[in-house]
Amino acid sequence: MQLRFAEQAVRIEGDIEFDMDTLRELSTSVTEMTIDERFGDEAAIPRVVYSKTDDVEVRYSRDTNTLYLSGPTRSFGRGTSLVYLAEYLAACTLAERQGDFLTHAAAIYNPETNRSQILFGEKGAGKTTLAIRACKEGGHQIIGNDQVYIGSSASNIHTSGGNAWFNIRRTAIASDDYLERIITTGDSSSEKPAWNDKIRLTPEQLDIAHKIGRTIVGNIFHVRIDHTQDTLYAAPWSGVQQNLILHERLGRHISGQATPLQDDAGNYLGSLPLVKHETTMRQRDELVKRIISMGITEVFAPDGVSATSYILEHGARKI
């Protein structure tokens, strides 16, 4: 079985037969994942190889760019864990090969300027709210809502894809009049706490276009919506906090922090081996420096209206 994550193919081999329904279900939740029918040079494609054994072990061979997983079929026979291992291997290979990093952020595309805007922010900061509003009110297109591939070339920072769906908290919808008008939530049957009770929506459901392919970044924002604030605050973001957050965000998917070793049921089993670590860390460091050099604007707003207006106004400026 060969899968593709963004621009990177990974082959899964060994003692497993994939159920196509399982793969199709996973492709709706794993960023930029597709079932790949474009088989290329076998020697150049990284692999995940599974073997049935009683004991669990995972190791990496740099010589063959292969992750070897062994363990019982009751833990790995469905294939879910193997897909996430393949995503991890793809993320590390993309980082080494072309300097693109899977990153926790949102990104939107402005067709008028042919530039994208990156929205960094903590969990629950309002990234999804702002991405939806910028697309609906400003005619932007979604690149990725929660995970985005970010990289750099000779003269530009770019995005090269992301997850094409929105997981939005019910509390975020309830606190934003515009979102309440365009999104029908219905009653919640979830046992999750209110702040983490989310609704999943596709761009098509919201009549939002999905931008595919590489785009040059025009603006980068670090956002937070706080309803206790009275006015919008916007200023260059800098200092120790910026450095620490960028360093961590751009390194999570290549250091095994975002994807531990888990079985198909999501039970934690341990850490993943590092893949191409020295090279990917150097690539990460260069990208962080490029982003800092470009500059980030911190937007601290009392509501989605003022934050969206600011982002649309500054995102409309041609570079």
In this prediction, residue 252 carries a pLDDT of: 86
Q: Would residue 96 count as lying in a domain?
A: yes
DSSP assignment of 110-133:
ETTTTEEEEEE--TTSSHHHHHHH
Per-residue confidence at 25, pLDDT binned at 50, 70, 90?
confident
Measured between alpha carbons, how far is 54 from 49 in angstroms, rounded to an integer? 16
Q: Among the listed ranges 30-34, 178-182, 185-189, which one has the minimum average pLDDT value?
A: 185-189
Beta partners for residue 297, in sequence order: 221, 236
Average confidence (pLDDT) over 200-211:
92
Q: Are residues 189 and 292 in the same domain?
A: yes
Q: Are residues 168 and 310 in the same domain?
A: yes
Per-residue confidence at 39, pLDDT binned at 50, 70, 90?
low
Q: Are residues 124 and 243 in the same domain?
A: yes
Q: Would residue 280 count as lying in a domain?
A: no
The packing angle between helices 277-294 and 240-249, to 10°, is 140
The DSSP code for 98 is H
The two structure tokens encoding residue 174: 């309830």
In this prediction, residue 255 carries a pLDDT of: 82
Q: Among the listed ranges 9-13, 31-35, 234-238, 246-250, which one has the minimum average pLDDT value?
A: 31-35
pLDDT at 315 over 60: yes
Q: In terms of DSSP bridges, do strands 233-237 and 296-301 run parallel, antiparallel, or are they unpaired?
A: antiparallel
The pTM of the full predicted model, rounded to 2 decimals, is 0.88
Q: Are residues 226 and 304 in the same domain?
A: yes
Per-residue confidence at 266, pLDDT binned at 50, 70, 90?
very high
Q: Would residue 58 count as lying in a domain?
A: yes
pLDDT at 316 over 70: no
Residue-wise pLDDT tens digits, 107-124: 999 999 999 999 999 888
Q: Are residues 23 and 92 in the same domain?
A: yes
In this prediction, residue 319 carries a pLDDT of: 43
Measured between alpha carbons, how far is 295 from 234 in angstroms, rounded to an integer? 13
Residue-wise pLDDT tens digits, 125-153: 889 999 999 999 999 999 998 899 999 88
Q: What CATH number did the domain enclosing 144 receive?
A: 3.40.50
Q: Are residues 158 and 299 in the same domain?
A: yes
Q: Are residues 41 and 151 in the same domain?
A: no
CB atoms within 10 A of CB 186: 7
Q: Are residues 63 and 126 in the same domain?
A: no
Q: Are residues 226 and 106 in the same domain?
A: yes
Q: Would residue 255 count as lying in a domain?
A: no
Q: Are residues 158 and 192 in the same domain?
A: yes
Q: Are residues 155 and 303 in the same domain?
A: yes
In this prediction, residue 185 carries a pLDDT of: 72
Give the residue from 286, 270, 272 showing the smallest Cα distance to 87.
272
CB atoms within 10 A of CB 91: 28
Measured between alpha carbons, how far is 126 from 307 in angstroms, rounded to an integer? 9
Q: Would residue 277 count as lying in a domain?
A: no
Q: Are residues 173 and 237 in the same domain?
A: yes
Q: Among the listed ranges 46-55, 73-82, 172-181, 306-315, which one has the minimum average pLDDT value?
A: 172-181
Measured between alpha carbons, how far is 154 from 161 in angstroms, rounded to an integer? 19
Q: Would residue 144 count as lying in a domain?
A: yes
Per-residue confidence at 241, pLDDT binned at 50, 70, 90?
confident
Q: Would residue 259 count as lying in a domain?
A: no
208 or 172, greater pLDDT? 208
Per-residue confidence at 190, pLDDT binned at 50, 70, 90?
low
Residues spanned by the domain of 142: 102-249+285-315
Q: Would residue 279 count as lying in a domain?
A: no
Q: How far apart are the first and last CA of the chain?
A: 43
**In total, how many domains does the chain have?**
2
Give the residue from 67, 60, 217, 219 showing the smallest Cα distance to 149.
217
Q: Among the listed ranges 149-153, 194-198, 295-299, which one has the minimum average pLDDT value?
A: 194-198
pLDDT at 18 over 90: no
DSSP assignment of 150-206:
EEE-SS-EEEEEE---EEEEHHHHHT-HHHHHH---------S-GGG-EEEE-TGGG
